[in-house]
Structure formats: C-alpha cells, structure tokens
Chains A and B, each alone.
Chain A
C-alpha cells in the first residue's frame, strides 16, 4: 500500500479550511519524514550495518592479532598522553585493537540477530498463520506449543544445549531461533484471524484460489506490517540474548569478537580500565535501541490510526 495517498480535490479543500492550527509545511511532508525516531534510528542502524560490512577495510588492525607489548592502551579520549594514534580506541588485555574488535563484533551481533530472527520468524509465522487461518484443532495444537515454549526459561535451555553441543555461532543462532518464535506465533495468529474473516478471503475462494495461494497472496501481504514490527523487536531481543549468553560464556566462544564476550573479558579489569566495559556496552545499547526505535517507527507508519 502506498503511504502517501493522493488526496482528492474536495478533501484538500476541507483540509485547507481546517488547517489553521497546523503549519502548512507539516501537512505537506510525507508521514515518514515527520517521524524523528524512525529517521534517526534508520540512520544509526544503516551506519552500524555499513561499519559491519566494511569492517575488513575500516578496521585499522586484525582483530585477532595479539601484541603483548601494547596491552591495555587507553583510547584517545581517556588518556591522550598514553594513547597511541594507531589504536584510537585502545587495546584489550591481550593487546588486540579495540576499534577493530568492535567493528568485527558488530558483524557477529547483526549476523546472530538477523538469522535468529529469520529462523524464529519462519517457525512462528508458519505456526501463527496456520492457527489463525484454520482455527479449530490446528489452533489448539499451536496454542499448546506456544504455552509449552513460554514455560521454558531461555537461559536454562541455552545452558543445557551448549553443554551438550558446545558453544558456537551456529548453535547460538539455532538456540535463539528455536526459542524466540512464540511472539511471532501469537501475533501472526491474531492478525491472520482478523484477516480470515474479511470478505476478500471468501472472494478469493470464489475465484478458485487454493489454500496455499490464499495464505501467500491474500493473508500474508495484509499481516506484513505486524510481522515487520515483531521481526525488529525479536532481532533486538536476539542481539541482547546473544550478548548475555556470550557474557556467561555460553554463546560465541573466544577469540571471536562478540560484544557480549568483550564485556565479559573487560569485567576483570573493570575497576582499572572502565572504558573497556563501557565501549561494547554502549555499542550493544545503541544497536538495540536503534532497532527497537525503527520497529516502533514502522508500526506508527502502518497502524491505521496513525494515518493522517
């Protein structure tokens, strides 16, 4: 659906009559341009994605190379005297360049966040759409699975899985993917249920559409906006959980530069070099905030009540 519907001539006249309190410029600009949160979060997110993609070219050093002579160099804004120009954000306790590790860490966070979101989104959307469309027994089964999933504490399950399979990027993605689908299922179920009752579904049946075609062509495009919002939320959730798991030593394993792992490694020297824990912490915070704000902004754009 196009966001900017051309307003018909009589509508414009009416708007002009009622327009006294509204500045003219605000009325004309498309809705997305008025949403400050959406614009700023999109810009921040774009910057992080570009930084992650271009990490090999942007990073001044190899994030894995240790240099024990250059251990614990401070960033330039902490101690300009001791800071070294080639390590603008300092080095960690093994002498690895912190900026390079942060840049490569963005890759890990985005990778895990994205693929965990895709896996859980696939599972949850399929279950939710089927439950919402067919109802009855399918719905009962899906609701039971959702309740079962909700009764499992994520950290506990992750702990058990990692102790069996060992921690790695793939294991973290799969564990999070298989644990975060519940919200997708619940939201897609209710959204589909609403769409199911619309007459255009009946009309689609009346022109001879098969069930898979109706689900794909008629239902999915109409629940897409809720799906996008949930997806953004779950991606942020997955990134946070990855950081938490890595912090506990259950997620990504060293020497991979995960932000959660960097927080964990920095906590040993937290009292002497507090910047070491703050930088990856701030990075996680900014990324999660940006994704959440983006989801919020998209929701504001797509809900009918938000339409001007």
Chain B
C-alpha cells in the first residue's frame, strides 16, 4: 500500500439535516495506485459522488468531512492550506463531472476554458496552452480541434462536451483523475466510446483513475480494482476479477446478477433484482446496512460487522461464510 498515489483512510461525511445528522459517507478507505483504475460502484445516493468531492475538498459548505488520512502522492490533503489545495486541484488531481451540459461555462469559448487551466497553473504561456489544447482535443477524438477552440459550449453536442471535459482534466497531466459518472448524462451509443477513451488515456499517461459509476458492466471492462459502496460504506473491495468471480457480499452478488449477459442467459430469463430500498442514513446506523434487503440476513447482522480479508487484498464486510455466494460457473 505504500506505493499508493491516493490513500484515503476512515473518510466520513456528515450532513446536518432537520431530521438529524445524515451519515452520507461512513468510514470509507480507498487507495489508488499510479496507473491503476479504481471503480467505485453503488446505487444512487450511496455516497459515491460525495466521496470523490470529499477527496477534492469540494463538499458543499454544510457537509462535514472527517478522515484519518487523505494523502495524495505523499502530501496530506487535510493539512494543506487552501492556497496549496487550489494549486493541487486541476494540476495534480483533476475531476470529470457527470453532466457535461452544465460543466462548461456558457460565457467563454472552449479554448478559453481549456487554456485557462494551463496558464493558471503556470505551465506555460498562452501559445503553449493553445498547442496543448489542440493536441489534447485531437487526442480525445475531436476532429478540427483548432476550429473547435473558438466555439462556445452550446455549439457542441453532449458527447463532444464530455470529451472537452476530459481534455480539460488532462491539460496539466494530473497524477489522479476523479471521474464522477462521466457517462450518465450521455447517449448509450456514446457511453462506451467515452469510457474506452478514459481507459486508454489512463494507461497512456500512467495516471491514477478513480471512476465513480453505477454501471457494473462498465466496471467489468475497464477496472483494475473495484470498491462496491452501499449506504455510505464500502461493503466489498478488491481486484476486479476477484470481485466478479467470487463476490463475498450479497449486495455485490445482487448487482452482478442485474447485468444482462446475452450469451449466458436463456432467452426470456428474468434479470436479478434487489428488492427494497436504501435505508435512511439519518441518525446512528448500526450493523450491516444491507440486512433489511438481504436474503441471507441473520441476527448477528445487527451488530457491527468487522471487515474480513481474503487473498488478493480482497476485503468485504459480511458475516456469511465466504463460500455461501459462490456459484458453479
């Protein structure tokens, strides 16, 4: 773990609401190595996006962040002053947002916004910024890149804008890119292209990529490691292959069963579903949060569930004997 680029230990995010304190993220530990893709998976409202915002230090002012450690390339982000954080953001760590329609400022041209990051972080003059922007736009697959630079965001399609957002995140060649559901707002036909692009660039630039998504199919394609989040907690984490072949948490199992697999399923066979709703995270949350929806729930699930570890740095939080969920495949 010592070669980790990003190391997060014991991260919690609390949001005070009228009904009580909402524990949106609870004791999350993650690590991303250089050249590695970590996918954070979970359903809506499980704290995936808040986790990435918390790492960037961009939580809304009402939300409170607590963590034992948030370290980026050996630098403690919690101890860093605001000025240093601003210097890191965009330069060493960058973010790709969910909705490319609203992430670009409608008042400025694409080129203006791309070049700003570069010059702002003192990487060179406008000339160099312009060249870098053209090169990156070409790299992310935008034809006529030089011409596009003088266009405004509303003149580009959603897919193009997300490519611009990716190029923007890469302007300063960051060590770490946090992508928060980068394909959710896009057409299904474009989604795969964008993800493949992200994966290619990640390998090419040898950076760490933390991809937040709710699409497990995506994860299977590009992830090195997977962290499955449920109700603000990482319930299972490990190498992608291990998690997919031998899931140890019933929630992960349920998610995997939801993926359509045309070649393995009989025509007309129903996809798996997970019954029930995510529990409220307001107030104290005791024991396994998934027990209300879990087919294997037992009385001991109500007590605090300690993380368990398997081979390959595989971690899960479940009291079940490890082999319960294995399938003859």
Contacts and interface: CB of A to CB of B under 8 A. Distances in A.
A206 interface: yes
A224 B107 CA distance: 10
B244 interface: no
Interface stretch (A67-75, A177-185, A195-203, A252-260): A195-203
A15 to B, nearest CB: 17
A218 B58 CA distance: 17
B86 A210 contact: yes
Given A5-B154, A5-B155, A203-B97, A208 B86 contact: yes
A218 B155 CA distance: 18
A124 B95 CA distance: 34
Contacts of A174: none
Interface in A189-235: 198-200, 202-210, 217-218, 221-222, 224
A153 interface: no
Contacts of B105: 200, 204, 217-218, 221-222
The size class of the interface chain B forms with chain A is 20 to 34
B89 interface: yes
Contact of A207 (B90, B106, B152): B90
A200 B95 contact: no
Q: Which residue, of B95, B105, B116, has the highest number of chain A Cβ atoms within 10 A? A: B105
Contacts of A200: 102-106
Interface of A, secondary structure class, is: helix
B58 A207 contact: no
Given A1-B107, A200-B102, A222-B106, A207 B120 contact: yes
A2 interface: yes
A208 B120 contact: yes
Interface residues of A, number: 22
Contacts, number: 72
B102 A209 contact: no
B106 A1 contact: yes
Nearest to A198: B102
A6 B94 CA distance: 33
B296 interface: no
B58 A202 contact: yes
Contacts of A1: 106-107, 152, 154
Given A1-B152, A2-B152, A208 B91 contact: yes
Contacts of A209: 86, 90, 120
B121 interface: yes
Contact of A208 (B87, B108, B155, B165): B87
10 contacts: A1-B152, A5-B155, A203-B95, A203-B97, A204-B105, A206-B95, A207-B116, A208-B87, A209-B120, A218-B105
Across chains A and B, which 7 residue pairs bring their CB atoms closest together, nearest first?
A207-B90, A221-B107, A208-B89, A208-B90, A206-B95, A199-B102, A208-B86
Interface of B: 56, 58, 61, 85-91, 94-95, 97-99, 102-108, 116-117, 120-121, 152, 154-155, 165, 168
